[in-house]
Structure 1
Amino acid sequence: MVTSTLSAANALIDADAHTLSARAMLMTTLMILEDAILSVVSVLTLPP
Structure 2
Amino acid sequence: MSDENRNVWSFGFNTGAENWNGRLAMIGFVSALAIELISGQGVLHFFGII
Q: Percent identity?
A: 3
In terms of fraction of residues, the more helix-rich structure is 1
CA RMSD, Structure 1 to Structure 2 (Å): 2.5
Q: Distance in 1 between matches of 2:20 and 2:31?
A: 16
Question: What is the letter of the counterpart of residue 23 of structure 2?
Answer: T
Larger Rg: 1
Moved over 4 A (4+): none
TM-score by length of 1: 0.55
Structure 1 unpaired stretches of 5+: 1-14
TM-score by length of 2: 0.53
